[in-house]
Amino acid sequence: MNLDRYSDNFFQVNHINGFLPKKSPIAVLPKRYSDLQILIDEMPIKKANGENGLLAEEGAIEDAVKNLKNYKELVKDEDDVFINQALFRAYAFLTSAYLLAPSHFGFQKTKKYGKAHTILPSQLAEPFVIVSKKLDVYPFLDYHYAYSLGNYVKIDNAKGYEWENLAMAAKFSGMDDERGFIMLHVDINQYSPQLVGSILEFLNSKNSNDINRSLTNCLSAMKSINERRQIMWEASRWKHYNDFRVFIMGIKGNNEIFGDGVVYEGISDKPVQYRGQTGAQDNIIPTADIFTGVIEYYPSNDLTKYLLDLRSYRPKCIQHFLSDLKDEMYGNRLFNKIKEDNNEEGLCILIQILDEIYYFRNGHWQFVQKYIMANTKYAKATGGTPIISWIPNQITAVLKYMSDVLELIPNNSSFIDKTSFEEQLSKKVTLLDKQLQLLHGDNYNAEDVFALNRKLKLNDD
Ligand code: HEM
């Protein structure tokens, strides 16, 4: 892998940064953008000083945007990537707040998302498009530069990436549940350097010992990632997800909210559609899937297509990393190598890594049940996918692969207790089948799915 291809000077994917930015993002825009910064600070439903902000009052964000000057000439001249990222973040937040404010207020009144604005005024559209071209991404709120990875501010610089130590540079609700929700994504990524490092070690490995060392490192990263992921239940209360969820909705796939799309005034008269920000733009699980070979088990269907479409919603340097890794791992390289070498220990570490990917996905599926399905009947994800179809696609792939790996492990292996793995796997398959039956029923109820996970002791909370 050519590591130079994985940097845009904001991100630099390697064993030091993983998928986190090279250094902390700029918290506040330079003085020359003070009016823009004021709007970002005034915007949240709850401002930093506890008072109500613009998004607490119907019509207020529209009025404020009307009076905002067009900074396009200033933006054109910026060449520092950290300033461009902070500008992108500011315009992305304002764009989503402006467009989706009517949907938010609609939801408050009727518990259904109302129609969004479909014209983005030129004072937002023009500078936003200029800065998005510089970063080479779509002009819409994304996961990397805007909502998540490029939005953290360390509260105490001497401390780490635990979500409790992370504030948000820009916010929609301004409440702790929003901070916990999205800053936990950053928190989880503190283990991405170890994950990336373990994969680079594998690519440089010379023998089974090297391979097993790299896999042990990968397993340890995945375990920590899962431990942090599970903290979501405390970091962000599921009943409060709707306080900010509407603002991260995308245009594409959400026709009920956005109709044909949004016209960016001053750019084109043609409505455009972009997908919304979603954890599906995060890189940990895609990287783990590619490295281990889970992708070889992805079915060919619309959801797989959608996951691949989401690759284009990442910075180019990250896209290069994922596509080069895919080339490196071509033909299920890891699995075949371990098999060829009769590396029993390697197989036993691999199955444990796959188990962590399973736990991530099954826990994550329970997030979807509680945070989304128990809160609303609107079954479209912010990224624009039909929410309840994720389970068959992703969990089936992992379980099938686990069964193939397990078959090759001798019954009396000294590295794992194979019988216990077999029993667990069959429980996981039963859980999946039963959930699928529930989802196909007419009266699908999120609570039933949740109860089933609990009954089989595979609950995440
Ligand atoms: C309350 C917490 C969460 C909820 C409600 C949630 C919701 C969702 C939904 C609805 C999808 C479907 C795709 C779409 O948005 O269109 C999705 C996909 C995804 N999310 Fe999350 N998510 C949560 C937390 C996380 C976290 C913490 C991560 C990782 C840092 C993550 C990573 C992913 C990935 C990788 C996918 C793609 C599907 C897959 O490969 O299994 N999510 N999420």
| Pocket flag, ligand 1, residue 381 (CB < 6 Å) | yes
Name the nearest CA neighbour of 438 among 342, 373, 378.
373
| Pocket flag, ligand 1, residue 228 (CB < 6 Å) | no
Please give the C-alpha separations between residue 443 and each of 432, 439, 448, in angstroms, as whole numbers: 18, 8, 10
Instruction: Indicate which residue's Cα is closest to atom 3 of ligand 1.
Output: 367
435, 452 contact by CB (below 8 A): yes
Instruction: Indicate which residue's Cα is closest to atom 2 of ligand 1.
Output: 367
Ligand 1 atom index nearest CA of 236 = 1
Instruction: Indicate which residue's Cα is closest to atom 37 of ligand 1.
Output: 280
| Pocket flag, ligand 1, residue 148 (CB < 6 Å) | no
Domain boundaries, the chain: 3-455
| Pocket flag, ligand 1, residue 106 (CB < 6 Å) | no
Instruction: Indicate which residue's Cα is closest to atom 34 of ligand 1.
Output: 280
Q: Count the alpha carbons within 13 Å of 222 in the hemisphere toward its beta carbon.
A: 28
Instruction: Indicate which residue's Cα is closest to atom 25 of ligand 1.
Output: 279
Residues 6 or more apart in contact with residue 25 via CB below 8 angstroms: 82, 85, 86, 89, 150, 151, 152, 153, 169
The CATH class given to the 3-455 domain equals: mainly alpha
**What is the model's pLDDT at position 445?**
78
Q: Which of 274, 364, 398 to mutate to test ligand 1, by most ligand atoms within 8 A of the CB atom?
A: 364
Q: Ramachandran region of residue 261, left (φ > 0), alpha (ψ -120 to 50) or beta?
A: left
**What is the model's pLDDT at position 460?**
84
What pTM does this model have?
0.95
Mean pLDDT per block of 10 residues along the chain (461 residues) reads 95 98 98 97 96 97 97 98 98 98 93 93 98 98 98 97 98 96 98 98 98 98 97 94 89 91 97 93 97 93 84 96 97 97 98 97 89 74 67 86 97 95 94 82 75 86 84
Ligand 1 atom index nearest CA of 384 = 16
**What is the model's pLDDT at position 417?**
95
